[in-house]
Amino acid sequence: MPIIARTLTQSNQLRRRAERFLPGGVDSPVRAFRAVGGEPPFLSRAEGAHLYDADGNQYLDYFGSWGPMILGHAFPPVVRAIQQTAADSSSFGASTAAEADLAELVTRAVPSIEKLRFVSSGTEATMSALRLARAFTGRNYIVKFEGCYHGHSDGLLAKAGSGLATFGIPGSAGVPDQIAQLTLTLPYNDTAAVEAAFATHKNEIACIIVEPVAGNMGCVPPQPGYLKTLRDITSREGALLIFDEVMTGFRVAYGGVQELSGIQPDLTTLGKIIGGGLPVGAFGGRAEIMDKLAPLGPVYQAGTLSGNPLAMAAGIATLSHLEQNRASIYAQLDQTATAVANGVAAAATEAGIPLTTNRQGAMFTWFFTPNPVRDFATAEFADTNRFAAFHRGMLDRGIWLPPSQFEAAFLGAAHTTDHVHQTIAAAREVFAALKP
Ligand SMILES: *Cc1c(COP(=O)(O)O)cnc(C)c1O
């Protein structure tokens, strides 16, 4: 598995040009590779499990556009659906049949969702779900957990994992204290902290929003019984439970974490996979709650491009394929992800490098720490310098990992056993070079 002599001449030119017009040369901060060093390649195309940069270098993709590309890039049915739909116009700003088609697929997969509304990003989905939860309960406080990321709306940026963890930013500048104060941020996987918050703020907490398997501090699954306790406490206290399944929906299982755990939230937010790589989000839940939305109810929420026909078409093509091949695809994803996660972990052990591997289905993180990672505090023990060196070494060998210790890796249905072997061989070399 030799180091590939990559030239990044084109990429570097494109980056310098982008930096003239875009802050940091990017439209989303983690893309700038600041946490891992080195120059981010500019991508020009992708197919199946492989990415190609502007200089023609090939990479095996372990981030899948941060989750959506579960069927691989340029999956022919998705490409066809987008092309055929575009020929009939890319936007109307009026209703089309496709919205109910995708909604029906989603509700069939996620039975706790009786009704839903489409938006254009995960951020919009969580932001709107919170507004709805506050209106439904008549309460103002929300509970979120350290290291969980729910998009970048003002009230959700406290200790929000993902890019903020990557850059060591506790919250964001520009969020008024008055707004931040309404967000109670508690440690993940700690039920006593939740009890205490509800005791202190009796009848004031509108909802708990949680990544039911966390992915934005790296992959951190819930402890046994944790989600059930969140369900019990919110039911008892008259608060809503919101599962943010933007990442986990159709990823850890077709029906998301709620299928795996059997725990039903009041509201669910979705995104990523349901748009098949186009910009989509959705929030949904019990009809009684969803019917508070305008035009039926008093909660305003709208979007010029919401339910966009191209996005609906890509989503329908993706979910129909997943639904029809559900058993085989998720079994294969689990098998491939287990093989690569454990294979790389074994290579680290051989090299004497302490590594903790967390995985849930085709979503996993190699934490450079010997200790179990069960919340943000334990995730932060990870050696981010060592992760950065690992990331660079893997990239030099044509393996593209997410560019931060605090982002989950993904693989998709296009990943094969050969790809897994290639990855493990590359990791073995990188670990040998990293040896203390
Ligand atoms: C990606 C993500 C979001 C935000 O979605 P965007 O489409 O990037 O706005 C929200 N919640 C979770 C759990 C996510 O992984």
What tens digit of pLDDT does each residue of 327-338 get? Answer: 999 999 999 999
Q: Dihedral through CA 428, CA 433, CA 434, CA 435, nearest 10? A: 90
Q: Could you give phi then psi for residue 358, rounded to 5 degrees?
A: -110, 135
- 9-62+326-433 against 76-324: fold identical: no
What global pTM score does this model have? 0.97
Which amino acid, 101? Answer: D
Residue 358 in contact with ligand 1 by CB distance below 6 A: no
Region 79-91: mean pLDDT is 98
Please name the residue ranges forming H helices in 382-416: 384-396
Task: State the pLDDT confidence band at 153, using cuts at 50, 70 and 90.
Answer: very high
Residue 343, pLDDT above cutoff 90: yes
Q: Given this model, what pLDDT does residue 158 score? A: 73
Q: Residues 53, 44: contact at Cβ < 8 Å?
A: yes
Q: Given this model, what pLDDT does residue 317 score? A: 98
What tens digit of pLDDT does each residue of 96-149 get? Answer: 999 999 999 999 999 999 999 999 999 999 999 999 999 999 999 999 999 999
Task: State the pLDDT confidence band at 2, using cuts at 50, 70 and 90.
Answer: low
Query: How far apart are the C-alpha atoms of 156 and 167, rounded to whole Å?
Result: 17
Q: Residues 73, 48: contact at Cβ < 8 Å?
A: yes
Query: How far apart are the C-alpha atoms of 279 and 144, rounded to whole Å?
Result: 25
Per the omega criterion (within 30 degrees of 0), is the bond before 295 cis? yes
Q: Is 389 exposed, middle or buried (0-12, 13-18, 19+ CB in 10 A)?
A: middle
Pocket residue to mutate for ligand 1, from 70, 149, 162, 363, most atoms within 8 A of Cβ: 149
Residue 254 annotated to the active site: no
> Which is nearest to 375 in space by CA: 210, 265, 152, 252?
210
Task: State the pLDDT confidence band at 1, using cuts at 50, 70 and 90.
Answer: low
Identify the CATH number of the domain defined by range 9-62+326-433.
3.90.1150.10
**What atom in ligand 1 is closest to the CA of residue 152?**
9
Q: Given this model, what pLDDT does residue 69 score? A: 98
Residue 157, pLDDT above cutoff 90: no
Region 383-389: mean pLDDT is 97
Does the domain spanning 76-324 belong to CATH 3.40.640.10? yes
> Which is nearest to 308 in space by CA: 87, 98, 106?
98
Q: Given this model, what pLDDT does residue 162 score? A: 66
Q: Residues 387, 36: contact at Cβ < 8 Å?
A: yes
Q: Given this model, what pLDDT does residue 38 score? A: 84
Task: State the pLDDT confidence band at 422, using cuts at 50, 70 and 90.
Answer: very high
- Read out DSSP for 163-194? HHHHHT-SS-TT--HHHHTTEEEE-TT-HHHH
Pocket residue to mutate for ligand 1, from 30, 118, 126, most atoms within 8 A of Cβ: 126
Residue 412 in contact with ligand 1 by CB distance below 6 A: no
**What atom in ligand 1 is closest to the CA of residue 245?**
13
Tell me 300's DSSP state.
-
Average per-residue pLDDT for the chain: 95
Q: Given this model, what pLDDT does residue 166 score? A: 64
Residue 300 annotated to the active site: no
Domain boundaries, the chain: 9-62+326-433, 76-324
Query: How far apart are the C-alpha atoms of 151 and 160, rounded to whole Å?
Result: 9
Task: State the pLDDT confidence band at 215, using cuts at 50, 70 and 90.
Answer: very high
Residue 272 annotated to the active site: yes
**What atom in ligand 1 is closest to the CA of residue 281?**
7
